[in-house]
Amino acid sequence: MWQELLKDTRQRMQQAKSALERELSSIRAGRATPALLEKIRVDYYGVPTPLQQMATIQVPEPRLLVIHPWDKSQIPAIEKAIQKSDLGLSPVTEGGVIRLAIPPLTQERRQELVKSVRHLAEQARVAVRNIRRDANDKVRELIKEGSVSEDEGKRAQDEIQKLVDSTIAEIDRLLEEKEKEILEV
């Protein structure tokens, strides 16, 4: 009975960590990566469409993204979506492609990004702790119902705590890697 609860808890914690990974991948650290454009939605004939579904995105140089739209008539809409995003990038159209030069980050901007990354990591830690609280409440409920003995309940709570510790350690590792990447000049 509590093994199912443990499995569900592990899965939910993994989802919290994966959400953090996705968020961190979309934060630019001075390098060009197609993940920077994941959140951009382009108005494609009245439907907000992810940019990756409308174009091929290449990284020919460390500080340059090249977007090859499949429908050339959508170039103005793609440019508009990039300009409206919070990336602070200016698209340059040359023929049928859009070029995005990634400017080097200032030290002040790097510090802001680090602060933002730490905030995201803390949100992920809070989510993991909330999952732990929910799981422990369910274990207490099972003990109260008599479905699980006190000893099994204690074992389940110990397992849940081990999951929390390992997931938070993984979140801290992700945070450390991203901070190092951001502060790298």
Fold of the 34-101 domain: Gyrase A; domain 2 (3.30.1360)
Question: What is the C-alpha separation between 137 and 142, in angstroms, rounded?
Answer: 9
pLDDT at 29 over 70: no
Domain segments of the chain: what residues? Answer: 2-25+106-183, 34-101
Give the model confidence (pLDDT) of 106-127 as tens digits: 888 788 888 989 999 999 999 9
Rounded mean pLDDT, 7-20: 92
DSSP H helices, 1-149, are 2-25, 75-84, 107-145
Range 2-25+106-183: architecture per CATH = Orthogonal Bundle (1.10)
Query: Cα 105 from chain centroid?
Result: 20
Give the model confidence (pLDDT) of 52-69 as tens digits: 888 888 888 888 889 999
Long-range contacts, 173-176 (Cβ 8 Å, 24+)? 174/17, 174/20, 174/21, 174/24, 174/121, 175/117, 175/118, 175/121
3-state secondary structure (DSSP) of residue 105: coil
Give the model's pLDDT for residue 111.
86
pTM: predicted TM-score of the whole model, two decimal places: 0.70
